[in-house]
Structure 1
Amino acid sequence: MTITTPPLVQPVAPVSPSRGALRPLGLDEVRITGGFWGERQRINAAATLGHVLGRLESEGWLPNFDRAAAGTLPAGRRGREFSDSEVYKYLEAAAWEIGRGDDADLERTFRAVVARVAAAQEPDGYLNTRFGRTGQGDRWSDLEWGHELYCLGHLFQAAVARERTRPGSDDGLLGVARRAADLVYERFGPNGRAEVCGHPEVEVGLAELSRVTGEPRYLEQADLFVDRRGRRTLEDIEWGRSYFQDDVPVRETTVLHGHAVRANYLAAGAVDIAVERDDADLLGSLRHQWETTVARRTYITGGQGSHHQDEAFGDDWELPPDRAYSETCAGIGSIMFSWRLLLADGDAKYADLIERTLFNVVATSPSEDGKSFYYSNTLHQRVPGIPADPNGTSLRASSSLRAPWFEVSCCPPNVARTFASLDAYIATADADGIQVHQYAPAEVRTMLADGQRVAFDIETAYPLDGTVRVRITEDAAHPWALSLRVPAWAAGATVRLVTATADESREANTGTVAVRRAFRAGDVVELTLPMTARFRSADSRIDAVRGCVAVERGPEVYALESVDVPTAEFDTVRVDVADGVHEHDGRLWVTAVEQPVHDAAWPYGSFPPPADHPHHTVPLVPYHQWAQRGPAAMRVWIPTA
């Protein structure tokens, strides 16, 4: 691991490691100005944050804190045992959004919510509305399912977001978090209970709280929790301790397993520990876990988790599209894990998975108006879904279309905090220059370790087209390197440097391409990524999609919807691969063949091969847009003719 010079001030970003190959550039250094992600950030700020807060009020999850402060609990408490965490995720999202836009109304709302949360904290620092009072379970009495430490992890992340966006704020949130963290150390530290929470999350919260406060005990506690995992301190359950990742120590784990969100949150926290402790063995184990999980247990969308009953990873190659759970929160957890490995190692493959997951999981969850969401993200909807009650609350995975809220509503505020902090995932720095990992119109203004200022704008319509233009806006005193990610799918990419005296082009191999010079204002570095649509087949060991293909263009996976094949039974449509994928009228089109099937009393026997049937072209839609036009059957993997 390369040791980077720590910045004088921590970046305004969710993750700020003290060492690693790359340093993240924060919201004060990178600003998304438009395009695909800029529009999603606009909707997030204008609609999603208010929608989430409204539901926290109407569902009673925020009023739970008022009841705790008034001493009337447990009477009237509403929501699941982890509902406190959704309030904290809202606060984190609001903190990042305030850091982006300095919204005075949102600032007032933020402070009002913090005051309600702070009023519920016990004198010794304990904070939870579900446990600890007469008529409720005792504190820390249900570590398997109680989520007390999980909730506090999200509290810590909210406090970190606030301190990084508004250092020294007098709203009190950081003090609330520190008192709670001190109690956790007292109860679960080296002289306390040698146990863990059933849902990892407190580890990343503690690690980042340690980074923002400089308090070593919080990092020590996170380290203890990671080291204890897999020591079988939790009670066994019907799905086994693997559900909690409490079956195998983290260092001995070879692939992510069990509950997919828990697994990714734990892995992200373990990377934090490995980096801060300079633990090469632990970091090596986590790299291997990432690699095997991507190679064997990840959907083409970047989604993870194929079991509905326990929201868990399946076995290797167990990736059925029609039973894909692919929880939105698992995708966000995967991004958290990949981002930390990217900062530690600098390898572009981690940014590739982040991009795939952002476009095809996170962007898929919210509706166009930002007020309804997918909890899980199937890759095959057999029949058109049933619209959710716009005023109702759905079971977590029962809605076949986007729903405004869920009884387990972890995903909406998780999406909100991800979009609000997305600027911090665009670019990084090292001793020699700047690396751009995700492509969006953006302004980058930062300083290198030697004190040299760097300023440039990114101009692009990506992913509509593959041209990414970086325009330098400030002269450099010394040469520095601008590195651009070339995705693994982008063979044949080129990079072009245009200056006042030169115009040079060359091939850009997949991975990264760098241009190093003493840049002058007006210089342009232009990356051209080939955006030709392509068929993809799957490893033959993925039984569920043999004989099928998927279509990709750039970072986006595409889908076929039943509304675009009204003359045929959806399940009878096959794609003629030999005819390729065509692009016109701003859409992708494939040649479809309808191969009717005949019902039989017994569906196993000798059936004649399909006869010749008419061919016709059908359009595909980006997967993240599916069901935006209304209920539809859908499939990502299409059988071949």
Structure 2
Amino acid sequence: MTRSTRGGAPVAPKRVTPRAQWTRGSPGGTAGTPHPTASRRRWRRTVIARRAADHVCETFGADGIQGVCGHPEIEVALAEFARYTGDRKYLEQARLFIERRGHRTLADIEFGRQYFQDETPLRETDVMSGHAVRALYLAAGGVDVAVETGDDELLSALRTQMANTIGRRTYLTGGMGAHHEGESFGLDYELPPDRAYSETCAGVGSVMVNFRLLLATGESRYADAIERTLYNVVAGSPGEEGTSFFYTNTLHQRVPGSTPSPDEQSPRAASSLRAPWFDVSCCPTNVARTFASLGAYVATSSADGLQLHQFVSGEVKAELAAGHVSVAIETRYPDEGTVRVTVAETVADEWELAIRVPGWARSGGLLVVGDSEPETVAPGMARVRRRFAVGDVVELRLDPAPRFTYPDPRVDAVQGSVAVEAGPLVLCVESVDLPDGAGVNELRVDPAVAPRVADGRTVVTGRMARFEPTDWPYDPEAEDVDETAAFEFALTPYHRRANRGPATMRVWMPCA
């Protein structure tokens, strides 16, 4: 048996979830005969989908209209349909749309051509800009095309683009989009918490891109990004009652706001609480689609191994070159840090079980194989290669204790502030947890007192600052702050915010 935390060069995995198998259609474009196990209804849907896709190819093909859509989406659909049917003409059409983008084909608008990514070709772009959802959907389609056509240059450009976007233009929650105007990315490190747009659909788009890059490279950092975005942005959009949602996801709610009327559409960026419906309601279907596909993000497989990327209880089955394997996963992650994997079905040959050690676990985790002594494993992929027997247990132990997180000093908007995270969860303070209904805007945190868990909730120590009214907001006297006595207050997981009625809220808290 050999183990390593990195395992050498990453292995590009494949999805574990099975796909329906279909025969190819005739050159004329009619759908082929369905696989015997496929239902007649699914076959009819494929016929309809093929007709629509064929129409797109005939209208916008190499000899057709040389245009692109203002909102990238069809590229992903065409690439996926090419995989589904085995007909590469749909992939070629997706490639044409990708290559046409960025050559100023679309008319200019007040937000500029970068709004719909028509200012610079995709393979020449080094960071995402413009409308966040559009940029992410285009990148997802670009990765699909790059992988399916073997275009390493395009894939490299997209990896650089995503790395720079996460490193410079992404909120602590994983949210993307700093501008309400144009629903767009800001400049590097322009990440104001109180003006964060961070559209729910952009969170979904980020998951889409990172999942494709994970499949293409096997690098765990993409699974880290998926985890952060799923637990904080996507999970936080719908309300606990399931009848309302956030379109945007601010990190600082300055005023309590009011409950939206269930009989009226809310402006998409104006609701202080989750609303039943917005003027544009793309988010509910996007969230529902993402929730329905969560199983696809849990694991991947390669010819000789199984890789676990997200931690949920359940069973994972995979077909390796040597045969069928399956494992049972038991965990209460992220509330607890133990992930227990039991081999339920195996093969005679050696194979590798790889488990992601999250990037948030800076000091790593402990890997326990059977009755062996725990071994420290660094963030990345912890790998166990051996001839497994049914009943063998591999356990990853992580410490999701709450911790202070400090911003990059280049993020001007949150200098002198701290946030609190617990495992992959970003926490926030809500005014309903402060004494006498105080607001969060005057709160000051004592970073010398580490966060701790009390009665099942994370608490930190802070004070309330009191200022005298002034006639001018730049009066130096305003710096003379009278602070209350220190007290402890509880924090709430960001995805559970605003479920207890109107309240002020913030993620980044100024230090005392």
Q: Same-fold call, TM > 0.5?
A: yes
> Which runs of structure 2 are paired with 1:192-271 in the superposition (5 Å)?
192-271=64-143
Shift of 1:175: 1.4
**8 Å CA contact 1:27, 1:424 repeated in 2:** no
In 1, Cα distance between equivalents of 2:53 and 2:358? 40
**8 Å CA contact 1:27, 1:423 repeated in 2:** no
Q: 1:359 to 1:399 in 2, by over 3 A?
A: same
Equivalent residue of 2:384, what SS?
Answer: strand
Match of 1:635 in 2: 506
**8 Å CA contact 1:304, 1:313 repeated in 2:** yes
Is residue 2:493 matched to residue 1:622? Answer: yes
Shift of 1:176: 1.5
Identify the range of structure 1 (264-273 vs 504-513) with the bigger mean alpha-carbon deviation: 504-513
Shift of 1:510: 0.7
**8 Å CA contact 2:16, 2:317 repeated in 1:** no
Match of 1:118 in 2: none
**8 Å CA contact 1:264, 1:333 repeated in 2:** yes
Structure 2 unaligned blocks of 5 or more: 1-10, 21-28
In 2, Cα distance between equivalents of 1:276 and 1:425? 20
Match of 1:174 in 2: 46
Instruction: Indicate which of 419, 422, 438 corresponds to 2:294.
Output: 422
Shift of 1:447: 1.5
Shift of 1:167: 3.5
Instruction: Indicate which of 269, 281, 301 corresponds to 1:409.
Output: 281
Is residue 2:474 matched to residue 1:599? Answer: no
Shift of 1:27: 6.3
In 2, Cα distance between equivalents of 1:428 and 1:369? 33
The one-letter code sitting in structure 2 at the alignment partner of 1:529 is: L
Is residue 2:458 matched to residue 1:467? Answer: no
Match of 2:434 in 1: 565
Instruction: Indicate which of 151, 154, 165 corresponds to 1:282.
Output: 154
Q: 1:475 to 1:225 in 2, by over 3 A?
A: closer
Shift of 1:475: 4.0
In 2, Cα distance between equivalents of 1:350 and 1:475? 28
The one-letter code sitting in structure 2 at the alignment partner of 1:632 is: A
In 1, Cα distance between equivalents of 2:38 and 2:223? 29
Shift of 1:612: 5.2
Q: Which has the higher strand share?
A: 2
Match of 1:534 in 2: 403
Equivalent residue of 2:453, what SS?
Answer: strand
In 2, Cα distance between equivalents of 1:196 and 1:541? 36
Shift of 1:371: 1.7
Is residue 2:203 matched to residue 1:331? Answer: yes
In 2, Cα distance between equivalents of 1:605 and 1:284? 51
In 1, Cα distance between equivalents of 2:84 and 2:336? 39
Is residue 2:359 matched to residue 1:522? Answer: no
Q: Deviations over 1:162-215 (max 9, x none)?
A: x99x84542522111111111111110000011100000000000000110111
In 1, Cα distance between equivalents of 2:484 and 2:177? 37
Shift of 1:611: 4.3
Match of 2:3 in 1: none
Match of 2:304 in 1: 432
In 2, Cα distance between equivalents of 1:436 and 1:492? 16
> Which runs of structure 2 are paired with 1:451-462 in the superposition (5 Å)?
452-462=323-333
Identity, in percent, stands at: 55
Is residue 2:310 matched to residue 1:441? Answer: no
Identify the range of structure 1 (469-478 vs 630-639) with the bigger mean alpha-carbon deviation: 469-478
In 2, Cα distance between equivalents of 1:205 and 1:298? 26
Is residue 2:16 matched to residue 1:25? Answer: yes
**8 Å CA contact 2:467, 2:482 repeated in 1:** no
In 2, Cα distance between equivalents of 1:562 and 1:611? 20
Equivalent residue of 2:490, what SS?
Answer: strand
**8 Å CA contact 1:591, 1:616 repeated in 2:** yes
**8 Å CA contact 1:27, 1:421 repeated in 2:** no
Shift of 1:230: 0.1
Q: 1:302 to 1:169 in 2, by over 3 A?
A: farther
> Which runs of structure 2 are paired with 1:315-394 in the superposition (5 Å)?
315-394=187-266
Match of 1:44 in 2: none
Q: Deviations over 1:384-422 (max 9, x none)?
A: 121122233222222211111222110001000000110
**8 Å CA contact 2:266, 2:275 repeated in 1:** yes
In 1, Cα distance between equivalents of 2:381 and 2:95? 33
Is residue 2:452 matched to residue 1:582? Answer: yes
> Which runs of structure 2 are paired with 1:495-514 in the superposition (5 Å)?
495-498=367-370, 502-514=371-383
Q: Deviations over 1:443-473 (max 9, x none)?
A: 11221123x2111110000011100000111
In 2, Cα distance between equivalents of 1:569 and 1:200? 41
In 1, Cα distance between equivalents of 2:211 and 2:507? 27
Q: Deviations over 1:201-239 (max 9, x none)?
A: 000000000110111111110000000000111000000
The one-letter code sitting in structure 1 at the alignment partner of 2:404 is: F
> Which runs of structure 2 are paired with 1:120-139 in the superposition (5 Å)?
none
Q: Deviations over 1:279-328 (max 9, x none)?
A: 11100000000110000000000000011121000111110000000000
Identify the range of structure 1 (484-493 vs 273-282) with the bigger mean alpha-carbon deviation: 484-493
The one-letter code sitting in structure 1 at the alignment partner of 2:179 is: H
Q: 1:415 to 1:27 in 2, by over 3 A?
A: farther
In 2, Cα distance between equivalents of 1:617 and 1:169? 62
In 1, Cα distance between equivalents of 2:70 and 2:504? 36
Equivalent residue of 1:552, what SS?
Answer: strand
In 2, Cα distance between equivalents of 1:252 and 1:352? 26
The one-letter code sitting in structure 1 at the alignment partner of 2:476 is: S
In 1, Cα distance between equivalents of 2:41 and 2:360? 48
> Which runs of structure 2 are paired with 1:137-152 in the superposition (5 Å)?
none
The one-letter code sitting in structure 2 at the alignment partner of 1:633 is: T
Equivalent residue of 1:170, what SS?
Answer: helix
The one-letter code sitting in structure 1 at the alignment partner of 2:455 is: D
Equivalent residue of 1:438, what SS?
Answer: coil
In 2, Cα distance between equivalents of 1:309 and 1:620? 31
Match of 1:137 in 2: none
**8 Å CA contact 2:429, 2:440 repeated in 1:** no
What count of residue pairs does the alignment treat as equivalent?
486
Q: Deviations over 1:349-405 (max 9, x none)?
A: 000000000000000001112221100000000011211222332222222111112
**8 Å CA contact 2:244, 2:274 repeated in 1:** yes
Match of 1:130 in 2: none
In 1, Cα distance between equivalents of 2:466 and 2:189? 30
Equivalent residue of 1:578, what SS?
Answer: coil
The one-letter code sitting in structure 1 at the alignment partner of 2:146 is: A
In 2, Cα distance between equivalents of 1:394 and 1:444? 41
In 2, Cα distance between equivalents of 1:504 and 1:570? 46
When normalised by structure 1's length, the TM-score is: 0.74
**8 Å CA contact 1:361, 1:624 repeated in 2:** yes
Equivalent residue of 2:63, what SS?
Answer: coil
Match of 1:489 in 2: 360
When normalised by structure 2's length, the TM-score is: 0.92
Shift of 1:633: 0.5
